[in-house]
Structure 1
Amino acid sequence: MSKVILITGGSSGIGKSIGEFLFKKGFTVYGTSRNPKNHANSIFPLIALDVSDVESIENAIVSVVKQSGRLDVVINNAGAGITGPLEEIPNEEIRRNFETNLFGPINVIKSVLPQMRKQNSGLIINVTSIAGYMGLPYRGIYSASKGALELITEAFRMEIKSFNIKMTNVAPGDFATNIAAGRYHAPVKDNSPYKKSYGNSLKLMDEHVDQGMDPKHMAEAVFKIINTKNPKIHYKVGEFMQKFSIVLKRILPDKIYEKLLLNHYKL
């Protein structure tokens, strides 16, 4: 019997690539979108779900279980980018980002755990980011929200272990997707003390995404995890230097690592 998989944010980018790959491998795949009608060309079904709305999450999970009788894998992929000087990002935008990147996945997990306990099995894969392993200039909120999800996963794993439910993180680096277009960008203000450095960093970030890897690499990594008996706690998928940057953070003195980032971002 093919596993039943739910992917939040499955209408575009990494989520869509994962969904198409798994669908072609014979899995029963459901994606989610806030507006499924806008994506009629999807090769797998899309269900309405807004990760900032608990009722919407619960309704989507009930719908999947009603149609397929079970839910084996949940991929918490829905996320949002955000850039800007920390001093200038409006508080409401900070809260909105955490609602999507942290509280949304937490509420999806809370909603699916009763069904997985009933089955005495399940796998939850949280898509985080290599940016979540370090505080990056002008991406501090994004780094913080994704880093928090990494730690939440570590705690959740231990709490649900006795129910035979597994959980893991997959942290992508830069991939060629439409995430840059969907980011909240704090405006580059003419009178801002950050105008020059933020403007330059923004161009650099967009170049990294444009030159990023094919999202199919993420799909292949997720496929391997689903077929792994005991998944690791953390996975990283990206260019060698992006993954190596995490290793360097572990071994280098803080100020030397900070200097490397300042040089990288030309600050």
Structure 2
Amino acid sequence: MATRETTSTSPDLSSPLMSPSHTPSGPVVFITGCTDGGIGHALAREFASRGCEVIATSRSLQSMKGLEGEARVSVKALDVRSLESIRETVESVIKDFGRIDVLVNNAGVHLVAPLIEAPMDSFHMVFDTNVYGPMRLIQAVVPHMIERREGKIINVGSITALAPGPWAGVYSASKSALHALSDTLRLELRSFGISVTTVAPGAIKSNLGNSSIERYNKIADWKYYKGFDSALRARTDISQGPKSIAADVFAKKTVASVLKRNPPPWFSYGPFSTIFGILYYLPLFIRDHFYRRVMKC
């Protein structure tokens, strides 16, 4: 029998909590990247507060300790870079809950580095997590949605993909790719009753800055860009400034939007959303001038 990680003061993660015949009373929502302090964590709590049955995932159960004790939330270890891990987890969820109504591809990694000096293994890691990871989940979950001819896919991209600037090119490129895939999937899956929404967060307070600076410190041995170190470091947490909004505020707005009967194809919320929308339409020479002044490049 499949096991389900539960939440209690002293959880016994090896014991079954729910029989395969269990019928969820609300939508079953599968979310990746639910590490404490992140957007996924806030989304999990908000979906649960609205009566959804939430499966919160992350590479480590320990990283989701903050979800212990949350009603209607189950936690499962999942590595989006592992096809085997995805297959096992999806099969377990289908066996326990019978279906997945909403798939939220939120897991992602940030990377700050000048493109010509960014290690190629870092390129692979970012795209494997931010692009291939969501597609692995989609290919694993969609067949079940097609059988039921309904479902929702939510891909969490980034507002920076609208107008990529300096210092985070690998990250922006990965999110641009995810946006493009979402646009195609929205059209290809429509006839099966499956909707696809791209969520593009603005400046949201999360653990993104801390993980980004840790990753930066591991690779920051520049040959050509030593003189730009302060500008590069500033880019690691640019979304975590005083104007950033709390993740739970973003989660409330996002969940309210995607749970609509007909969710929008695009949803963006948070500081910088408007300015990036404007930059998207501006001539490139104006955008470049803006970035040279702001990003010190």
Query: Which TM-score band applies after superposition, normalised by the shorter structure?
Result: over 0.9
Q: Which residue of 1 aligns with 2:26?
A: 2
Alignment of 1:85-124 (within 5 A): 85-124=114-153
- The aligned counterpart of 1:246 is 277
Structure 1 residues 91 and 120, CA gap change in structure 2 (3 angstroms): same
Secondary structure of the structure 2 residue equivalent to 1:235: strand
Name the residue aligned to 1:255.
285
What is the CA RMSD across the aligned residues, in angstroms?
1.7
**TM-score, scaled to structure 1:** 0.93
Deviation (angstroms), 1:38: 4.6
Match of 1:151 in 2: 180
Segment of structure 1 superposing worse, 194-203 or 172-181: 194-203
Asked if structure 2 preserves the Cα contact closer than 8 Å seen for 1:138 and 1:198, the reply is no
The question of whether the paired residues in 1 share the 8 Å contact of 2:163 and 2:276 is answered with no
1:216 has 2:248 as partner: yes
- Distance (Å, rounded) in 1 between the aligned partners of 2:239 and 2:104: 25
How many residue pairs were aligned?
A: 264
1:20 aligns with 2:45: yes
- The 1:38–1:168 alpha-carbon spacing in structure 2 relative to 1, beyond 3 Å, is closer
Aligned pairs for 1:226-245 within 5 A: 226-239=258-271, 241-245=272-276
CA distance in 1, matches of 2:50, 2:95: 23
Residue 197 of structure 1 deviates from its aligned partner by 2.0
Which 5+ residue runs of structure 1 have no aligned equivalent? none
SS of aligned partner of 1:123: strand
Measure, in 1, the Cα distance between the counterparts of 2:164 and 2:258: 30
Task: Give yes or no for contact 1:85–1:198 (8 Å, CA) kept in 2.
Answer: no
Deviates most, 224-233 or 168-177: 224-233
Secondary structure of residue in 2 paired with 1:236:
strand
User: Shift of the alpha carbon at 1:37?
Assistant: 4.1
Counterpart CA distance in 2 for 1:45 and 1:11 is 13
For residues 176-198 of structure 1, the C-alpha deviation after alignment (integer angstroms, 9 at most, x for no partner) is: 11112223316433x63312224
For 2:207 and 2:150, the matched residues in 1 are separated by: 34
Query: SS at 1:169's partner residue?
Result: strand
Q: In 2, Cα distance between the equivalents of 1:234 and 1:96?
A: 26
Q: For residues 63 and 105 of structure 2, what CA distance do their matches in structure 1 show?
A: 21
What letter is aligned with 1:126?
Answer: N
1:84–1:198 contact (8 Å) kept in structure 2 = no
Q: Cα deviation per residue 1:219-249 (whole Å; 9 max; x = unaligned)?
A: 113212233222222211111x432322232
